[in-house]
Amino acid sequence: MTIHHHSGNERIDAVRAFNRFYTRQIGLLDEGWLKSAFSLTEARVLYELAHRDGLTATDLARDLGLDPGYLSRLLKKFEERGLVERAAIEADARRSSIALTPAGRRAFAPLNRDSHDQVAALLDRLAASDQDRLVKAMQTVQRLLGGDGAEPKVPYLLRPLQVGDVGWIVRRQGLIYAQDYGWDETYEALVAEILGAFVKSFDPKWERSWIAEREGEVVGSVFLVRKSDEVAKLRLLYVEPSARGLGIGKRLVEECIGFARAKGYRTLTLWTNDILVSARRIYEAAGFKLAEEERHHSFGKDLVGQNWNLEL
């Protein structure tokens, strides 16, 4: 990929300006360490040891960018003060992992508390929505520059519908189906109608929503609507292109089925179109059977609508 010279330099300048700015920010936060008995580097080593198990001196030197000889002297000093202990690694007797002793944990506790309080004070200057934006931006930087290791451990979480979700889901489904299948704005309008009705007549005892969220962004959803005492309908399953391959679609369908069973419904039904292949695969794998097919012209396209049923 070639970057045009001008924009390339602008990007470089922007990154350098950010680095200078953020180094000052960190410097202000690090002033807390100055009040402690530990140097900044010592504090960083203690922090790693407090938060990660099974570290060797090699790991520490690499992850903190420290000279191995310098680190070795620092660890020896810690050992003499009873702050760390070494344990041989079973697989390799020559290497030992380093861990904080109870005394080391006690020494680290006030440092950790001060650092926590300083970051809390930094965030408190911002409104809650701005705090979210800041944290998201930081996670993005970490993910893009940190390589694979910085991927969040929890790929997504499921939660119920919140204010702001309805508009987002209507917009995203409208855009995704337009981009992928060329559907027109009447599909977006249909999603708006379905969700408007869902919210207006929502019956929490018999109906439910599941919103998949990843790093603060909505990345998928599904809705279960009561049709009768015995029949529930699964509606509007979708997963964002950026979050595909994490098993979110399958999980959303499983949640629907589990809820429908728990509530004593006899049948879970759904309507889809034959071109939506990945959704259809999920339904088939979950045990749904194709009940009927019908050609129709909707959303500006000739489609084949399908009703699928799962007997519970």
pLDDT of residue 139: 82
> From CA 249, how far away is CA 40, in angstroms rounded?
46
Token pair of 216, please?
């603060």
pTM of structure: 0.57
pLDDT of residue 37: 78
3-state secondary structure of 124: helix
> From CA 79, how far away is CA 87, in angstroms rounded?
12
Helix/strand/coil (H/E/C) assignment for every residue in 186-243: HHHHHHHHHHHHHHHCCCCCCCEEEEEEECCEEEEEEEEEECCCCEEEEEEEEECHHH
pLDDT tens-digit profile, the chain (312 residues): 544 556 788 999 999 999 999 988 887 777 666 667 788 888 889 989 988 888 889 989 998 889 999 999 999 999 999 999 988 766 665 678 899 999 999 988 888 888 888 888 889 998 888 888 898 888 888 878 876 554 555 578 899 999 999 999 999 999 999 999 999 999 999 999 999 999 999 999 999 999 999 878 899 999 999 999 999 999 999 999 888 888 899 999 999 999 999 999 999 999 999 999 989 999 999 999 999 999 999 999 999 999 999 999
Q: How many residues does the structure list for the chain?
A: 312
Topology classification of domain 8-146: Arc Repressor Mutant, subunit A (1.10.10)
Q: Does domain 157-311 have CATH number 3.30.420.40?
A: no
3-state secondary structure of 102: helix
Q: What's at 27, amino acid-wise?
A: G
Helix (H) or strand (E) holding 259, with range, is helix 248-262
> From CA 54, how far away is CA 297, in angstroms rounded?
62
Q: Which residues contact 304 (CB under 8 A, 6 or more apart)?
A: 273, 274, 275, 293, 294, 295, 296
pLDDT of residue 150: 46
Domain boundaries in the chain? 8-146, 157-311
- Strands of the chain (E only): list them: 55-56, 84-89, 92-100, 157-159, 208-214, 217-226, 231-239, 267-273, 289-298, 301-311
3-state secondary structure of 300: coil
> From CA 122, how far away is CA 131, in angstroms rounded?
10
> From CA 284, how far away is CA 291, in angstroms rounded?
12
